Structure 1
Amino acid sequence: MKIAPHGNPDNMGDLQEQLKQVFEGFDTSGDGTISKAELGKAISQSGKTPPDPKMIDALFKGIDKDGKGSLDFNEFVEFILSLPPPTDALRAAFLEMDTDGSGYLGKDELKVLLKKAGVEQISDAQLEQICNDVGGEDGRVSFEEFCSYFPQ
């Protein structure tokens, strides 16, 4: 499976390799799938308290799209990529894009961001619309507005 055709292809390969390593760490039986028990074990190892078995059942059922009772790599990747990014990662991305240090992303900064995301050409009117949609009428995007653009 190739992950997302967007962005830097080298980074996509790195991401796929990282996800493969995590998947293999969860797959303690080495059979190429993650069972409900393996998922529960991985979750309990990451937290201080054992997870509720009902929560594990519900989570597993939501991830196991084909209903086979095990998670293959594609189901695992789909689930991981559906998770919202952590706030600290969003903060780091925002600060990197806020090149003038104003605490807001202006049109020029958003244009650079869109170009990095693969949008080669964007009209001033389209950029204005994006600023208004994400940042409101002031035409600037605050960190809170930036975060609200990502599903939580």
Structure 2
Amino acid sequence: MSTSLAPERLESLRQQFLAHDSNQDGSLSQTECTELVANITGRSTGDYAVQCVIRLFDEDGNGVLDFEEFASLVSCIENGYFDREVTLEDAFRMADKDRNGVLTHKELRHLLKTNPEFSKEDIKRIMDQVETNPSGQITYEIFAKLIEELEPLAESEQ
């Protein structure tokens, strides 16, 4: 995984990484990432936000960030990645907790609950109507179609 960080910046990040790798296993757990984010930003971050970031940058899917994954995260932050709109692919990857490339109803429901524009009734109605593949799962294509259909609903509630 490549980053656009200068060698000096990478060395500085390696020192921060090692300082927060409390069990010295060469990776940052969710707890260690939460502490590091608080240390860097000066504010605490919710568990769900940290879980989402880990899922986005955890290339090998082991639930933790190794140094290369961590450096990629920092590079994205420093290059304005998080200053842009979240893409459908980002949202799908964040919701796909087991990283199997499809969403369960539970994963989709959890994602919808993070949007304050949807009431409990809206979420129930959406979940009752959502299409699935023959295995009862929600593919990316189904998800993208659902979001496209939901955009006018979210806009009308503003």
TM-score range for the pair, normalised by the shorter chain length: 0.3 to 0.5
Normalised by the length of structure 2, the TM-score is 0.42
Normalised by the length of structure 1, the TM-score is 0.44
- Larger Cα-atom Rg: 1
